[in-house]
A and B are shown apart, each in its own frame.
Chain A
Amino acid sequence: MTNDPTRLEFRDPARGSELLTRLEHVVERAGRRISVMHVCGSHEQALARYGLRTSLPRGLRVVMGPGCPVCVTDAPEVDAAIAVASRGVHVVTYGDMLGVPGQSISLEDARSAGARVSVVYSALQAVEMARRSTDAVVFFATGFETTAVATAAVLDAQPPANFFVLSAHKYVPPAMEVVAASPDARIEGFLAAGNAAIITGYGLFEPFAAEHGLPVVVAGFEPLDILAGLIRLVELAVEGRAEVVNAYPRCVTRDGNRPALAKLFKVFERRDGEWRGIATIAGGDLRLRREYAAWDAREHFDLAPIADAPEASELAGKCRCGAIMAGSAEPSDCALFGKECRPDSPRGACMVSSEGACRIWHQYGLGLRSERELSTLRVRESSA
């Protein structure tokens, strides 16, 4: 791993060690167990990818909340995309969504059975595919507000008539409200998603912090960013200060990216929506406005599930993704975790998505062994 700040890499392990020491002391001085929540799959990815979870102080619990857009895309929404694809229409989507099961099968399963499903890396690529084809191309658009901005940009640029968007985009701030209002979670502060805040600005967290009496720290995604953000967040939580701190100033401002936000809400409107396994989140879904109906897949295609779709899996009832995403349960609390539900045979979205809590826990063996065993895995001492 390189560590070159001129390439915006902030990964100096020596500095990381110092920040970890600081975090340990801040948590120690709290004298109690502190639980904080982050709401961004990329934060969870970074925590896992840099191995930070194996180094965080024992007294600090960093819970992943409903921050995985793949996980919270509701089963009927996935099934709608599958229905369109299974009826012979070319559906394109981000790679993250391919393996997520709807009620029973995933887009990947539909593809194995003959449906036309392709992966795109960008909404622009999806439009390009439509331009080069005479057939309809339906872009199954998932992701939170940062990603929705890209979809808005392509729709605003008058794409071809054979390009359609099936929007399953979601908007995070209302979900934070639901979690904050829930008595189960015992969360003392939020680490807010840095890149979403680039778009929305951090100002919108101020009324949230005041209303719920909880601090919010906006953090970036480099390992040093995360450690710095956690230090500030725990300090605020311990001191009972319900403030908003921007720990990612190189990217985030108070007002955010106004033109991008304007474009987002020019194309999309907020509606109440089902967040898979969690609840109805008021204003949590982003759907195309009437002005963009010409490109709205919901207006043009039959989204009803296909007649011979397999029955919903009986295991679906035992899946605890919802509680896990809300932060009120951990992957190891689910009876299926590590047994019927594994990365190679996922039952719920949290195990499919590379950002799902269950997938990430399984990946580094958490919940599959006791805390005591994990603590003995001090890599440096054990290497020969």
Chain B
Amino acid sequence: MIREKGTVELKHGAGGPAMRELVKSLLVERLPREAALAATAVGPEDLDDGAAIPFGDRFLVITTDAHVVKPIFFPGGDIGRLAVSGVVNDLAMMGATEVIGLTSSVIIEEGFPLVSLERIRQSMRETSLEASAFVLTGDTKVMARGELDGIVLSTSGVGLAQRVVRDAGLRAGDAIVITGSVGDHGLAVLSARHQLGLEGDLRSDVAPLNGLVRVALGAGGEAVHALKDPTRGGVTGALVEMAQKAKLGIVLDESAIPLTAAARAAAQILGIDPLGVANEGKALLSVEADAIRPILAALRAHPLGAQAAVIGRVVSDHPGEVLLDTGFGHRRLFERDAEAIPRIC
């Protein structure tokens, strides 16, 4: 499939099947099978949010992320906050809510305003304080004007986890929980990027979630079977991947999915499904049915989890498929390879 054109396309970075195919065929399948892989509990072939390596009685979790968002300053956040939150969240989704440290690599285009760079660094500092996750080392490169579009941030993180939580751990009978409203980041950025003139409280939810995940794991322990943050590809992409890895089905109840009024209106105007766009401050949990109550209570008591809700169930029917009950029938949710674009039809 990737050989079709002989060139890299936008879909290869969209977080969907095309990207996974590229990563698998060019990276994962060609790694030396010896050495590094033998030492991991969760490795590159798992295509999870990070890698986990046994470390004494715990696990060392490592992850890396690159950010190229446009526009770099958007309602609710900026590329700096995204860079720190993104990597802290990848660690948290593996169960590593204690962050040992971050690295920050930045590649900047000649001519980029220093004022903007300062603003981005300030934003990273603030987010680091929220998460107790600090940049301990990094790298800076500058490319000539025109050779790079603005700025690219690449961030790595190292954390420790008592127990590794995989995104493949779904079990039949589990409840699917989301920690808050859906589609905020993707819709805010899309609206800003295309200058669609939408006024209102449409803002990114970008935030570090390690504190929130910590309280959920504290309340639920091993009853939390799987974790994943629905970034690129949205809730749909994340749940389809989880369902496929676990070879189980998921059924969602549309009336239970939290949406802000702004996101609902923007989605309707743009003809975009909020379930298919990125969230940068939300987590999906697959939890044992018995543990729903304490986990929801713990989430809702935390400022980032006030709208937490059960949105569906894991079932043994239709393995690998995610269905949405609309109240009028149901439809199947499919991952997309492309970034959502506003449609008129």
Contacts and interface: CB of A to CB of B under 8 A. Distances in A.
A362 B331 CA distance: 11
B203 to A, nearest CB: 20
Given A343-B336, A384-B173, A355 B345 contact: yes
A70 B324 CA distance: 27
B217 interface: no
Contacts of A112: 7, 9-10
A363 B345 contact: no
A382 interface: yes
Nearest to B175: A384
Nearest to A16: B328
Interface stretch (A42-50, A260-268, A315-323): A42-50
Interface residues of A, number: 48
B191 to A, nearest CB: 10
B194 interface: yes
Contacts of A355: 345
B330 A379 contact: yes
A203 interface: no
A68 B345 contact: yes
A98 B341 contact: yes
A143 B273 CA distance: 21
B69 to A, nearest CB: 17
A96 to B, nearest CB: 5
Interface residues of B, number: 49
Nearest to B340: A95
Interface stretch (A52-60, A76-84, A272-280): A52-60
B17 A384 contact: no
Given A112-B10, A384-B313, A49 B331 contact: yes
Interface string B171-203: 011000000000000000000001110000000
B344 A51 contact: no
Most central of A13, A70, A382 by chain B CB within 10 Å: A382
Interface stretch (B27-35, B95-103, B279-287, B315-323): B315-323
A68 to B, nearest CB: 7
Given A382-B251, A384-B173, A94 B343 contact: yes
B1 interface: yes
A354 interface: yes
B329 interface: yes
Given A50-B328, A382-B317, A119 B344 contact: no
A333 to B, nearest CB: 21
A48 B18 CA distance: 25
Contact of B345 (A41, A50, A383): A41
B328 A383 contact: no
A364 B332 contact: yes
Interface string A343-365: 11100000001110000001111
B303 interface: no
Main secondary structure of the interface of B (DSSP, over half): loop
A50 B325 contact: no
B329 A51 contact: yes
B325 A380 contact: yes
Contact of B323 (A121, A143, A344, A377): A377
Most central of A41, A119, A354, A384 by chain B CB within 10 Å: A384
A147 B331 contact: no
B326 interface: yes
Nearest to B264: A2
A331 interface: no
B24 to A, nearest CB: 15
B196 A121 contact: yes
A45 B344 CA distance: 12
A49 B331 CA distance: 7
B342 interface: yes
Contact of B328 (A13, A345, A362): A13
Given A112-B9, A383-B313, A96 B345 contact: yes
A69 interface: yes
A1 B254 contact: yes
A99 interface: yes
A192 B11 CA distance: 36
Nearest to A378: B330
Contacts of A241: none
B37 interface: no
B323 A223 contact: no
B331 A95 contact: no
A147 B195 CA distance: 20
B313 A51 contact: no
A382 B271 CA distance: 30
Interface string A188-216: 00000000000000000000000000000
Given A54-B329, A364-B331, A383-B313, 11 more contacts: A13-B328, A41-B345, A50-B329, A95-B344, A96-B345, A119-B194, A119-B342, A355-B345, A377-B318, A379-B325, A384-B289
Q: Which 7 A-B pairs have the closest CB atoms?
A: A51-B329, A13-B327, A95-B341, A55-B329, A54-B329, A51-B326, A51-B331
Interface of A: 1-2, 11, 13, 16, 20, 41-42, 45, 48-55, 68-70, 94-96, 98-99, 112, 119, 121, 125, 143, 147, 223, 343-345, 353-355, 362-365, 377, 379-380, 382-384
30 contacts: A1-B327, A13-B255, A13-B327, A41-B345, A49-B331, A50-B327, A50-B328, A50-B331, A51-B326, A68-B345, A96-B343, A96-B344, A112-B9, A112-B10, A119-B194, A223-B328, A343-B334, A344-B11, A344-B337, A345-B1, A353-B345, A354-B271, A354-B345, A362-B334, A382-B251, A383-B315, A384-B172, A384-B173, A384-B313, A384-B315
